[in-house]
């Protein structure tokens, strides 16, 4: 019998927390997991999952338009925001139930309360005030939308949290930011018929992606009718006498709109968590500092997922949780591998990507080969839609290894998942060349780009 109430106490019922609690409990450990809101965390409750459902909802008007080219006559259509929200809420409740069931079946104790650290082994359950002890503690409290409190009128704006529960679909929206959330929601709102403006401080949206993807998506979004204002910021938001909002910008005057959404990154949720009391160190962004095994500076306390601000992605948090279990409970020290993470932006068209952008690869390698195809996908022929797909492989000329793969177009995310396996396995361009195409697909372009479109040597395109 140990001196602690629990072998493992997990703070936070999101992707990383639930996975670590469930796996440890299934191994017979005495586990408790505390969550102050709903199980499932950002991904299930107010992130990836409801977002993707919204993406589907927003694509139907294009499906209806495309149908005509294929001989269909679609009758009158209409959209109900209320019906979408209700359906989405039912699905989220179902998924939350599954998360809880998984924990219960594994034997973890579910605590519906905020939990705060009061010492290296001590946790206060805020609802009851009770203090419990645990041999090991995992901090998996995630992050929350940056409220941008220095912006005058920020309290009039919404974040992605609110976007999932708006009483009514706005007629117009201005979205600030040029990252995943801003771009995805700009397409969602536009697809649902909302007059949409994106305002981004940099030269081009999606700053960490390959230039071709960034330009290609920018052009496609503008062609659909989304207004994109780059190199600009909102300086003030105020309420008008008529009840709408006025967003003042630095370079584009005043934008009159129903809603302003701020999508300016997410901050670690560490405020008031008692990290000082437990002696856990954080960085200047408030993120818990961890080593390669997700250990904090306090030997028995671990942190994983968005609260560590390494890579803010659900599968990464889950992977970190599984590595924690291997390391701490299976005597198999395993550091999460953050290299070559495939990712998708669920914009319209989608971006799917893994590895280095052309720009980063050109800085890292003396010579790279760039294979690039831009084409109209087959489905767009009869539908008459003008959208183009872009596919790009970046190859290190020295050893022929494919170091980056980037796709803009339908199902790019699905393709990125499989490309992720190939790149992880160290695939070379020759492997692509001797792979038979799957015909007719869009993905076959990936294995039929036989000659480099251009090379980049010492940073210069040749
Ligand atoms: P991102 O980091 O992707 O984007 C934040 C954006 O806000 C950037 O364009 C950034 O500009 C801009 N920005 C930050 N601070 C300011 C400021 N003070 N003034 C003006 N602009 C500012 O964050 P998101 O909020 O979009 O998403 C959070 C995280 O969630 C992402 O990093 C991603 O990992 C994850 N996510 C993943 C999704 C997916 O996998 N499909 C979907 C949604 C989110 P700049 O680029 O110039 O720094």
Tell me, in angstroms, the distance from the centre of ligand 1 to residue 208's CA: 10
Of all residues in the chain, the percent with pLDDT exceeding 70 is 100
Q: Using one digit for the tens of pLDDT, what is the confidence trace for 267-307?
A: 999 999 999 999 999 999 999 999 999 999 999 999 999 99
Q: How far apart are CA 54 and CA 169, in angstroms?
A: 12
Reference 79, options 100, 58, 55, 108; nearest CA is: 58
Whole-model pTM: value is 0.97
Q: Phi and psi for 198 in degrees, rounded to 5? A: -110, 130
Mean pLDDT (whole number) for 319-348: 98
CATH no. for 154-264? 3.50.50.60
Q: Express each pLDDT in 27-51 by its tens digit.
A: 999 999 999 999 999 999 999 999 9
| Main-chain dihedrals φ then ψ at residue 408, nearest 5 degrees | -120, 120
190: its two tokens: 């536009």
> What's the chain's average pLDDT?
97
CA-to-CA dists, residue 450 to 249, 336, 389, 439, 445, angstroms: 47, 35, 18, 17, 10
Distance CA 216, CA 429 (A): 24
pLDDT band (50, 70, 90) for residue 211: very high
Q: Distance, CA 131 to ligand 1 centroid (Å)?
A: 37
439 is catalytic: yes
Cβ of residue 265 lying under 6 Å from some atom of ligand 1: yes
Q: Does position 1 have pLDDT exceeding 70, yes or no?
A: no
For ligand 1, is residue 312 a contact (CB within 6 Å)? Answer: yes
- Spell out the domain ranges in the chain: 6-145+267-329, 154-264, 343-454
For residue 39, the model assigns a pLDDT of: 97
Question: Which CATH class for the 343-454 domain?
Answer: alpha beta
**Can you name the residues that pair with 246 across neighbouring β-strands?**
238, 256
CATH code linked to domain 6-145+267-329: 3.50.50.60
Residue 205: count of CB within 10 angstroms of its CB: 24
Q: Would 6-145+267-329 and 154-264 be classified into the same CATH topology?
A: yes
pLDDT at position 373 over 60: yes
Which two structure tokens, joined as six digits, stand for 143?
Answer: 């992050």
Q: Are 368 and 394 spatial neighbours (Cβ–Cβ below 8 Å)?
A: yes
């Amino acid at each position: 019998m140990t001196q602690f109430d629990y072998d493992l106490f997990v703070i936070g019922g999101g992707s990383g927390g639930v996975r670590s609690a469930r796996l440890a409990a299934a191994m017979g450990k005495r586990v408790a997991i505390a969550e102050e809101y709903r199980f499932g965390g950002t991904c299930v409750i107010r992130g990836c999952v409801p977002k993707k459902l919204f993406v589907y909802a927003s694509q139907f008007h294009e499906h209806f338009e495309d149908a005509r080219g294929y001989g269909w006559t679609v009758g009158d259509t209409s959209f109900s925001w209320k019906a979408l929200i209700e359906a989405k809420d039912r699905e989220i409740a179902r998924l939350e139930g599954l998360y809880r069931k998984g924990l219960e079946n594994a034997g973890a104790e579910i605590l519906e309360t905020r939990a705060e650290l009061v010492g290296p082994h001590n946790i206060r359950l805020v609802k009851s005030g009770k203090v419990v002890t645990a041999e090991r503690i995992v901090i998996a409290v995630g992050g929350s939308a940056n409220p941008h409190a220095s912006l005058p009128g920020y309290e009039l704006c919404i974040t992605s949290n609110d976007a999932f529960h708006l009483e009514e679909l706005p007629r117009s929206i201005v979205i600030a930011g040029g990252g995943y959330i801003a771009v995805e929601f700009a397409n969602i709102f536009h697809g649902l018929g909302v007059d949409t403006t994106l305002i981004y401080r940099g030269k081009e949206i999606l700053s960490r992606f390959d230039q071709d993807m960034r330009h290609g998506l920018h052009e496609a979004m503008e062609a659909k009718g989304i207004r994109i204002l780059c190199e600009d910021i909102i300086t003030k938001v105020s309420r008008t006498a008529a009840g709408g909002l006025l967003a003042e910008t630095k370079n584009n005057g005043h934008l009159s709109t129903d809603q302003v959404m701020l999508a300016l990154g997410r901050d670690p949720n560490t405020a008031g968590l008692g990290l000082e009391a437990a002696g856990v160190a954080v960085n200047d962004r408030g993120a818990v500092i961890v080593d390669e095994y997700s250990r904090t500076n306090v030997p028995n306390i671990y942190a994983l997922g968005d609260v560590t601000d390494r890579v803010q992605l659900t599968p990464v948090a889950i992977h970190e949780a599984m590595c924690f279990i291997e390391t701490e409970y299976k005597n198999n020290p395993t550091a999460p591998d953050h290299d070559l993470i495939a990712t998708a932006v669920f914009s319209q068209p989608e971006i799917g990507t893994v590895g280095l952008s052309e720009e980063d690869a050109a800085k890292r390698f003396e010579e790279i080969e760039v294979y690039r195809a831009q084409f109209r996908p087959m489905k767009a022929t009869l539908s008459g839609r003008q959208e183009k797909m872009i596919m790009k492989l970046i190859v290190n000329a020295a050893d022929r290894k494919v170091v980056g793969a980037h796709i803009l177009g339908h199902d790019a995310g699905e393709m990125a998942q499989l490309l992720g396996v190939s790149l992880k396995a160290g695939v070379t361009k020759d492997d692509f060349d001797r792979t038979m195409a799957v015909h007719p697909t869009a993905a076959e372009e990936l294995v039929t780009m036989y000659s480099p479109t251009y090379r980049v040597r010492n940073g210069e395109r040749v």
